[in-house]
Structure 1
């Protein structure tokens, strides 16, 4: 396993930054980072989707899959639920523009910006039935579970994304 240095979790990157002036410290889509507390992060590209849903730090992102197609390991995420396959990717740590790159949190405790669509402490959470950038209580065993509500009223969840 390679150690990653120079991680700034709240920074956004353009394609030019990844190949230009910051190429020596650049990250590749799919790179993972684990901090001292055990929280895990993944480097991804953001797409606003067909609904042009802007990224909001602290909102949930889903793997981009236009028309509900199977979400592949492309490393592209969106907060536009209609342009996803309902598979949670993680919590945005910054607000990248369309096509920019950023870090998302994929595991560990996180506080969301937007309240859950529904839920109580201990509920399994899924994008299914949620609104853009949020999560909802899982009702079916076929739902993709991507978080557990720790303190639903305070918007604190434990992220469990792949």
Structure 2
């Protein structure tokens, strides 16, 4: 079954997209849409990378909850830093984080985590994937404390889950 229909959700989406684009439910459009929805995922299957092997699902669940909480807390801190002009100004700067991750899926997950947390921007990954340049909205304390926090909070769980 997996060889004939490698990605059922992709097939359903392609059929729906075809029918929306043609704006017709005629038998010919349904047949052509169904044909495209069945053939295109089979032809594209060799191009898709292998999915990651998740080794520690409980660590993954904890990481998802942690990131969700960090998004909310960081959003509040950014709003407070922007809307309170009379108080201490945020200290924003670029921070170079040394990386231990080498797994492509783990690096992609780390990039997504960094992108969704307000106040952090993934700027550059070194060509040898050993360092990451981040721009941080407010670095309270020294860079070493932020690097330690970032690595323990996000990189270490990703290494447990995907490496």
- TM-score scaled to structure 1, two decimals? 0.25
Judging by fraction of residues, say which structure has more helix: 2
Judging by fraction of residues, say which structure has more strand: 1
Larger Rg: 2
**Greater relative contact order (Cα 8 A, min sep 6): structure 1 or 2?**
2
